[in-house]
Structure 1
């Protein structure tokens, strides 16, 4: 009689273990994918700059200062380190967030599709939850607002 209880206990234990494994597997499969970066970083230290006044004139509020994003690229030979900088984080009238890049004389933006893609698209890809990117040129007293949309359409006269 004792052997039948042992087998019954083993079968019951096996069923419980299978149910636990199934539950954990289901939780793992149904969990949302983690973001590649955890939200837009806000640096509360905001150094003064003429771009802040220009952004405020355009209706934006600067809510964060310079942010450094460290990058590591694994290559066949060795890891290569680099970084990207976001100059400011600004908020629009409805609370939407914008990344802010300041114009640099030694790194001008070529205002073509390829130029914008090469110089500014990485920032838009890093934080897709942002409404866009504000490119501030203090010398020209201008603020360019950039958004990016995905499209499968082909255009005549394609640029790279």
Structure 2
């Protein structure tokens, strides 16, 4: 009789685990898109420096800074290799969110459609709730906002 009780407890534990997994998945699936941005704001601290002050002088509220997004890449059946995407700041202006990449001399931006796509599309796909990606150059005193739009083949 003890074995039947053990199997019953085992079955109840498995059912509770499956219910919990389903609940977590449903919660994740229905979470608002801005939830990821709120987590980024909590995770990234802002160090006051010239770049932050310049962005604020340009009308942006700097919410967080210096982010690393860990990614894994596998080719065919090979092992998962770790890599990261970096962006400098998450800012807000007029209730809209933007990711900020600072323009650096050692890795200049290629200002063509294909160059911008290769360099920035991953950020737009990871954070679709952002209005765009800002390329900021405090030395040149310029701010450019890059947006992506998927177009129809016909149009």
The verdict on a shared fold, with TM-score over 0.5 as the criterion, is yes
The CA deviation at 1:121 is 1.2
Deviation by residue 1:81-110 (Cα, 9 ceiling, x = unmatched): 1001121110112x2111111111111110
Q: Which runs of 5+ in 2 are unaligned?
A: 1-18
Q: How does 1:1-160 map to 2 (within 5 A)?
A: 34=29, 39-40=36-37, 41-42=40-41, 43-75=43-75, 76-93=77-94, 95-153=95-153
Runs of 4+ in 1 over 6 A off after TM superposition: none
Give the count of matched residue pairs: 127
Q: Is the contact between residue 44 and residue 66 of structure 2 (CA under 8 Å) also seen in structure 1?
A: no
* Residues in 2 aligned to 1:109 and 1:153: alpha-carbon distance in whole angstroms: 27
Q: Which has the larger radius of gyration?
A: 1
TM-score (norm: length of structure 2) = 0.71
> Structure 1 residues 97 and 105 mapped into 2: Cα distance closer, same or farther (>3 Å)?
same
The CA deviation at 1:58 is 2.1
The higher-RCO structure (CA 8 Å, 6+ apart) is 1
Q: Which runs of 5+ in 1 are unaligned?
A: 1-23, 156-160
